Structure 1
Amino acid sequence: MNKFVKLVILSSLAAFISAPLIAAETMKEKTEAATNDVTRDAKKSINRIEEAACTEGDVECLAQKAKNRLDEASDATKDKATELKNKAD
């Protein structure tokens, strides 16, 4: 029983000591995720404004719109993959 108590105390102590390190890393990752969200939203807004102002013709405007949507989906996928990787670490 004495070994069990020592094991519990040591594991609790190790968790308590490492908690600030884990929290600091998590806060950094959360900040990075929030920054990525804001950046994606800003790019999306700029794309919508450019699409609304497009005067090149229907085909060119649709091509630009499709490219913008593809870029937005690509950015979102990359960001979410990074977030999932960070959560797994």
Structure 2
Amino acid sequence: MRQGMSGLFRWLNAPANWCGLLLATGVLVLKALGLLGGWGLGLAALGYGAGLVGGALWWGWPSTREDAWEALNFQDEGDAREAMGRALSGVRRLT
């Protein structure tokens, strides 16, 4: 149960979700002012989808960068002290 709530809170706090809600709210305000006809509700749903996709792309989803842990490849050959030094330098690059 806690896992699901965490996912829900992450979704609600996501910048992409807020971009979608902002665009959909703008369309609904235009409908309330009488500037849009009956198709305004469908346009609000499309606006939410466009805002969601635009916000997700703007805030870096999907990420094309390599995962930071993938950069931790080091050679474990030779002297143990040198191998440990290479491993430590790899970890230091992460932080």
For normalisation by structure 1, the TM-score amounts to 0.37
Q: Select the structure that is richer in helix.
A: 1
